[in-house]
Amino acid sequence: MTISIIYHTRFGNNALIADLLSDTLESKGHGVSIHPISEAHPSEIPASDLYIIGSPTQIGTLPIRVGRFLRRLKIPSGSRFAVYTTHAEPGSGAPGKITSTMEAHGAESVAKPLMLAVKDLKGPLEDEWESKVTKWIETL
C-alpha cells in the first residue's frame, strides 16, 4: 500500500511519531512518504492508498495552519485516512477537527484516532508511546 504521512510539529514530538510510523510501515513492505506541513504544499502530496495525519493540540484544538493545509488537499473522494494527535491535557478537539476536515473531502476514517500525551508542554512523549504506536499500526 502507498501511504502519505502528513504531520505538523513545533517541538518535535509529532515528528518522532511520524518517523516510527514510517520505519515500521516500510518494514512491513509499504511505500511511505513523509510530509511535514512546514515544508510541504498541499498540491505536492501524492495520491495514496492511505493518508496518516498527525498534529499537536493547541488552545484545545487543531492549530490553524494544519486545518488550512488539510482543507487545501486534493485527494480523491473515497480516500482512506487515519489520525494521530498529541496533547498536554485531556480533551483535545484536534482529532475531531482533522476527521471532519478529511470527511469533507469525501475521505473515510479507517481507525480510531491515536491520541498520545506529552509529559510537559514541549514533551517528552508519555511512557510506552512506541508500543502504543506499533499497536495502533495493527488497526490500520
Ligand X SMILES: Cc1cc2nc3c(=O)[nH]c(=O)nc-3n(C[C@H](O)[C@H](O)[C@H](O)COP(=O)(O)O)c2cc1C
Helices 64-71 and 94-104, axial angle in degrees (round to 10): 20
| Least distance from ligand X to the Cβ atom of residue 34, Å | 14
- Residue 85 gets which letter from DSSP? E
**Could you tell me which residues come within 8 angstroms of residue 97 by beta carbon, excluding any fewer than 6 positions away?**
61, 62, 67
Give the footprint of ligand X on this chain (CB under 6 A): 9-14, 56-60, 86-89, 92, 118, 121-123
Contact (Cβ atoms closer than 8 angstroms) between residue 4 and residue 45: yes
CB closer to ligand X out of 60 and 106: 60
| Least distance from ligand X to the Cβ atom of residue 8, Å | 7
Neighbours of 68 (CB within 10 A): 13
Which single residue is written with the C-alpha cell 495493527? 138
| Least distance from ligand X to the Cβ atom of residue 20, Å | 13
CB closer to ligand X out of 33 and 58: 58
CB closer to ligand X out of 79 and 86: 86
| Least distance from ligand X to the Cβ atom of residue 89, Å | 4
CB closer to ligand X out of 41 and 119: 119
